Amino acid sequence: MHVTLRAVTAIRCLRCDRVFPSVRRALAVSSHADFRIVEFSVQDDHVHLIAEAEHTRALASGVRGLAIRLAHAINRALGRRGRVWDDRYHARALATPREVHNALAYVLLNFRRHGHTGADIDPCSSAPWFAGWRPPRSADQSGPRPVAVAHTWLARIGWQRHGLIVADGRPKRG
């Protein structure tokens, strides 16, 4: 699944040094047996995820739990109270190797669509831990891997039928 959570208008700083470490920690501890975050990208006002769930109830429960955990972490980091997420999350099922390939590129390279420059890959994503780059990248991550290992064939192997993700590419409109 490609999942998107959008923040309310008052919150436009999910990537800032004060907030992102809390967001990354919340993402890192949100995977469990029935729901796994495989990749993520945090933008100023929204979060993209590639997630796996054993069934639709597990997806709904996993995203709901993640949204609550993230909201608490964001509010704590900002010293505020109140709603963090704008309405409901958006989820799109990924059923083919091409859809997963395109979603991975979209999520991991999304920071370029939002005008962020400078970094070769997005430091506010799981991109530093991603092993499917072309050309291959050296490990430049800090700390433990913040995402779960994919269990499904599509997310582990199938997407590679369409090639590795070009590290200096730009994602297509989603």
* Residue 159 maps to a domain: yes
Helix (H, G, I), strand (E, B) or coil at 80: coil
* Residue 26 maps to a domain: yes
pLDDT of residue 49: 97
Q: Taking Cα atoms as reference points, which of 10, 18, 42, 38 lies closest to residue 131? A: 38
* Residue 172 maps to a domain: no
* Residue 135 maps to a domain: yes
pLDDT of residue 4: 97
Domain that holds residue 16: 2-166
**Peptide bond preceding 135: is omega within 30 degrees of 0, i.e. cis?**
yes
pLDDT of residue 87: 84
| CATH number of the domain encompassing residue 65 | 3.30.70.1290
- Model confidence pTM above 0.85: yes
Residue 139 pLDDT greater than 70, yes or no: no
Instruction: Check residue 120 and report its DSSP letter.
Output: S
Long-range pairs of 21-27 with CB within 8 A, sequence gap ≥ 24: 21/77, 22/73, 22/74, 22/76, 22/77, 23/47, 23/70, 23/73, 23/74, 24/124, 24/146, 25/73, 25/146, 26/66, 26/69, 26/70, 26/72, 26/73, 27/66, 27/70, 27/146, 27/147
- The answer to whether residues 14 and 47 touch, using CB atoms and an 8 Å cutoff, is yes
How many domains are there within the chain? 1
% the chain with pLDDT above 70: 92
Tens of pLDDT, residues 94-108? 999 999 999 999 999
* Residue 64 maps to a domain: yes
**Helix 20-28 and helix 56-78: axis angle, to 10°?**
150
* Residue 70 maps to a domain: yes
* Residue 173 maps to a domain: no
Tens of pLDDT, residues 12-33? 999 999 999 999 999 999 999 9
* Residue 150 maps to a domain: yes
pLDDT of residue 173: 58
pLDDT of residue 102: 96
**Geometric angle at alpha carbon 167, from 164 and 168, rounded to 5°:** 135
Structure tokens at 47: 């979060």
d(CA 103, CA 108): 8
pLDDT of residue 118: 60
- Average pLDDT on 130-139 reads 81
- Average pLDDT on 3-9 reads 97
